[in-house]
């Protein structure tokens, strides 16, 4: 059963449901553009268990056993018990020794030692209490010197390094998205639905806010709705670009950081892991029309409206994807994070962005087959093979059931389209298909869709 994902932006009303579309009770997926947060009251607080209150005439630490136990009763005295030495034969007399000064009795030594220990303990406790009340600025207890720098491999150090490269994109309708610098001469990557805002037309220029609070204008170089990628350009040639990783190497369980401006809160960082890769995600525009299909990186890092267009990075701060959409259990309106967010793999996004910068538009990869209706189970029916297409050149025929694409088992149409669009034109892949009850394989060289 297919989930639906809709694109929404701050300051606009949520898209109206398509009256002709079937109703599903499953979560809807929405693109995380900005929305002002709703106020919430403080959570209730409660204290832990309190110690029992002392009764009249009792010490606060009195214990019921004190009446019979001298170690619990503060009014009792320690008792030193002496025992007689067992009888033994009398030893031979020794020669007379010079007279010595009388030594104090054993009992007196013990009493003096006990009093000394008591005084020392009381004095030490008093000094300790006094020292802790004098504060960190003086006294006997000084502690070690505070650290002024964090470990170079800590999350805080990584964030400090990448934050100047992340921007808040201020949209024409008063909302916001996010973006990140990808070249020292000022190119910025973001989402198509960010530069469109709440309207249908791509803005010509926008403003971007930097982590240091400065604001500048940005030209919209180009935008591609099919991939939900857009490119902006700011003036200058000494901007700090982010490092782009190889998203094909991303694995489930890898730690990640999501950076952006959720709900307008600029320079926000959340942490999580990669929950899945090649997750088929279908988004809709404000009119409820299917706009983009992607084989997304899924993460549980908190992503909210306003994170759209911001970077999803590995733990070293290298970009692995563009935060684009979130799943939602809400039937209507904008929704917040529920731990299921999606990012466009950076390898695909970079290819699209490079084409936009070079030509002003982007190409889209195709197999060259019309797909039949999705059915439960493994396989997608190739209902009609387009003549002279990659599928035709590979020997595929009408009615073949494609069961695997580039090593991935295929179960429904959206998944196959997402896997195809993830790859660049000219990529050769292996497909597995069934024909007349027998399994076959073929090599297909994908190509760009005709204009």
Q: Are 117 and 109 in contact (CB under 8 A)?
A: no
Three-state DSSP state, 336:
coil
The CA-based angle 368-320-8, given to 5 degrees, is: 75
Task: Tell me how far apart the alpha carbons of residues 15 and 22 are, in angstroms, rounded to a whole number.
Answer: 16
Question: Helix-strand-coil percent breakdown of the chain, rounded to 5?
Answer: 20, 30, 50
Which residues make Cβ contacts (< 8 Å) with residue 165, sequence separation at least 6?
A: 180, 181, 239, 240, 241, 242
Q: Are 362 and 356 in contact (CB under 8 A)?
A: yes
Catalytic residue status for 228: yes
Three-state DSSP state, 263:
helix
Phi and psi angles of residue 258, each rounded to the nearest 5 degrees, phi first? -110, 125
Phi and psi angles of residue 38, each rounded to the nearest 5 degrees, phi first? -90, 140
Task: Tell me how far apart the alpha carbons of residues 165 and 190 are, in angstroms, rounded to a whole number.
Answer: 13
Task: Tell me how far apart the alpha carbons of residues 218 and 176 are, in angstroms, rounded to a whole number.
Answer: 14
| Cβ count within 10 A of residue 212 | 8
Kindly name the residue from 10, 223, 227, 228 that is annotated as catalytic.
228
Task: Tell me how far apart the alpha carbons of residues 280 and 68 are, in angstroms, rounded to a whole number.
Answer: 75
Query: Which is nearest to 280 in space by CA: 381, 386, 374, 398?
Result: 374
Kindly name the residue from 33, 165, 192, 193 that is annotated as catalytic.
193
Kindly name the residue from 6, 165, 267, 308 that is annotated as catalytic.
308
| Residue 84 Cα to chain centre, angstroms | 75
Catalytic residue status for 59: no
Catalytic residue status for 193: yes
Catalytic site residues? 193, 228, 308
């Amino acid at each position: 059963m297919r989930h639906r994902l809709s694109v929404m932006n701050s300051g606009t009303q949520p898209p109206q449901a398509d009256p002709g579309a079937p109703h599903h009770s499953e979560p809807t997926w929405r693109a995380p553009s900005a929305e002002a947060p709703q106020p919430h009251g403080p959570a209730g607080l409660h204290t832990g268990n309190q110690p029992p209150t002392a009764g009249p005439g009792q010490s606060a630490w009195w214990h019921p056993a004190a009446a019979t136990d001298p170690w619990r009763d503060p009014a009792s005295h320690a008792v030193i018990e002496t025992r007689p030495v067992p009888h033994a034969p009398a030893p031979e007399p020794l020669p007379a020794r010079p007279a010595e000064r009388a030594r104090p009795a054993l009992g007196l030594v013990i009493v003096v030692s006990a009093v000394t220990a008591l005084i020392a303990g009381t004095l030490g406790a008093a000094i300790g209490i006094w020292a802790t009340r004098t504060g960190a600025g003086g006294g006997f207890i000084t502690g070690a010197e505070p650290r002024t720098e964090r470990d170079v491999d800590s999350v805080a150090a990584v964030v400090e390094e990448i934050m100047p490269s992340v921007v808040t994109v201020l949209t024409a309708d008063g909302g916001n998205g996010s973006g990140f610098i990808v070249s020292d001469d000022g190119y910025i990557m973001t989402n198509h639905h960010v530069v469109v805002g709440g309207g249908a037309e791509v803005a010509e220029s926008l403003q971007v806010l930097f982590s240091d609070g400065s604001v500048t204008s940005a030209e919209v170089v180009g935008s591609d709705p099919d991939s939900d990628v857009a490119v902006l350009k700011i003036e200058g040639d000494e901007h700090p670009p982010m490092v782009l990783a190889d998203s094909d190497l991303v694995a489930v369980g890898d730690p990640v950081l999501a950076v952006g401006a959720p709900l307008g809160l600029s320079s926000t960082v959340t942490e999580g892991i990669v929950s899945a890769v090649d997750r088929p995600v279908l988004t809709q525009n404000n009119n409820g029309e299917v706009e983009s299909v992607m084989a997304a990186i899924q993460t549980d890092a908190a992503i909210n409206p306003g994170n759209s267009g911001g970077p999803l990075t590995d733990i070293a701060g290298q970009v692995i994807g563009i935060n684009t959409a979130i799943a939602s259990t809400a039937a209507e309106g904008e929704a917040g994070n529920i731990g299921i967010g999606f990012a466009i793999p950076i390898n695909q996004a970079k290819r699209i962005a490079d084409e936009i910068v070079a030509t002003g538009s982007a190409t889209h990869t195709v197999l060259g087959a019309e797909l039949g209706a999705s059915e439960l189970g493994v396989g997608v029916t190739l209902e009609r093979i387009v003549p002279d297409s990659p599928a035709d050149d590979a020997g595929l025929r009408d009615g073949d059931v494609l069961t695997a694409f580039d090593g991935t088992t295929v179960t429904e149409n959206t998944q196959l389209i997402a896997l195809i669009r993830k790859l660049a034109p000219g990529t050769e892949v292996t497909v597995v298909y069934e024909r007349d009850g027998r399994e076959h394989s073929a090599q297909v060289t994908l190509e760009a869709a005709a204009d």
